[in-house]
A = this chain, B = another copy of it.
Amino acid sequence: MDSKQATVRFSAFGALGDAEMLLLRDLAGPVRRLSRGDIIRGEGDATTRLYLLRSGWTASSIAVGGGGRQMIKVHVPGDMLGTPGLAMQRAPDTITALTDVALSIIELPALGRLFVETPRLAALLFLISQEERVMLMDRVATLGRADAMVRLVALVLDLHRRWLRNDPAAGLVLPLPLTQRAIADLAGLTPVHVSRVLGRLRGEGLLSWTGQEVTIHDLPALCDLVALPSRDLQADAAWIPPSAPPNRDRYPRSDGA
């Protein structure tokens, strides 16, 4: 299950060959375990490594003027953490552990080898980043144009969809270890208002959100409320390079000419 989750994001866009499977397994270094509340990487830190979330929940957030913060995204197992920071000298976001977590460390030279040795894997990684961009675009649309109730429902539906990808057997109850303060930081609201709106959602029988898990009572009604298109992933696009032949070293490694 652990190793399956590590590849689920990749294989959504195309099958992995032996060479890719091998390199993907080598990509991830030692596993590190952290406790709830720990900071995995802070804003301003050097961007010298990536993380692959193995189990547990983490979140990425940006501090804004005056002690507040905007939470950008909640991560589920299989997500790669810290990638946007590669473009910057210093990390743009803080990554915190929402629960006890296990993550693999990915060193950057391994990423360089991925681009040289398995162009197919590089293209799939590129597509994962495009998917992340679309998710951020939808978030911009929601934050810019939706009221509090729609924002909260959109949040639940998004997390439900992503949770189902890791565990297709999961039903309408999903674990979601967020305090209402964290939910407010995600939705761009205040904790007080989150409490009120969740109360209304509960009262109308649409969903119930205890401290640790959400139960979706009326999925169709919720989808209706949010009214965002379904965003089907592009599986197996024709332009993606085919699996590389199994022998290595057709290209020089990045450390030797």
Question: Looking at the complex, which of A82-90, A157-165, A211-219 is the stretch in contact with chain B?
Answer: A82-90
Query: A218-257: which residues lie under 8 A (CB-CB) from chain B?
Result: 227-229, 231-234, 237-242, 244, 250-252, 254, 257
Interface size in chain A (residues, C-beta < 8 A)? 73
Asked whether any CB of chain B lies closer than 8 Å to the CB of A140, the reply is: yes
A residues whose Cβ falls under 8 Å from a Cβ of B: 13, 43-44, 47, 60, 62, 64-65, 68-70, 72, 83-90, 92-93, 108-109, 111-112, 115-116, 119-120, 122-123, 125-134, 136-141, 143-146, 187-188, 227-229, 231-234, 237-242, 244, 250-252, 254, 257
Contacts of A85 on B, CB cut-off 8 Å? 130, 134
For the complex, what is the distance from the CA of A92 to the CA of B233, rounded to whole Å?
A: 11
Residue contact B241 to A84, C-beta cutoff 8 Å: no
Q: Considering only CB atoms, which chain B residue lies closest to A110 in the complex?
A: B239
Residue contact A89 to B137, C-beta cutoff 8 Å: no
Contacts of A138 on B, CB cut-off 8 Å? 62, 92
Q: Specify which of B68, B112, B188, B239 is in contact with A112 (CB 8 Å cutoff).
A: B239
Contacts of A86 on B, CB cut-off 8 Å? 126-127, 130, 234, 237
Asked whether A126 and B137 contact (CB < 8 A) given A88-B232, A112-B239, A145-B70, the answer is no
Residue contact A137 to B237, C-beta cutoff 8 Å: no
Residue contact A64 to B141, C-beta cutoff 8 Å: yes
Residue contact B251 to A134, C-beta cutoff 8 Å: no
Q: Considering only CB atoms, which chain B residue lies closest to A86 in the complex?
A: B130
For the complex, what is the distance from the CA of A226 to the CA of B132, rounded to whole Å?
A: 25
Residue contact A254 to B241, C-beta cutoff 8 Å: yes
Residue contact A227 to B65, C-beta cutoff 8 Å: yes
Residue contact A129 to B119, C-beta cutoff 8 Å: no
Q: Specify which of B109, B129, B228 is in contact with A239 (CB 8 Å cutoff).
A: B109
Residue contact B115 to A146, C-beta cutoff 8 Å: no
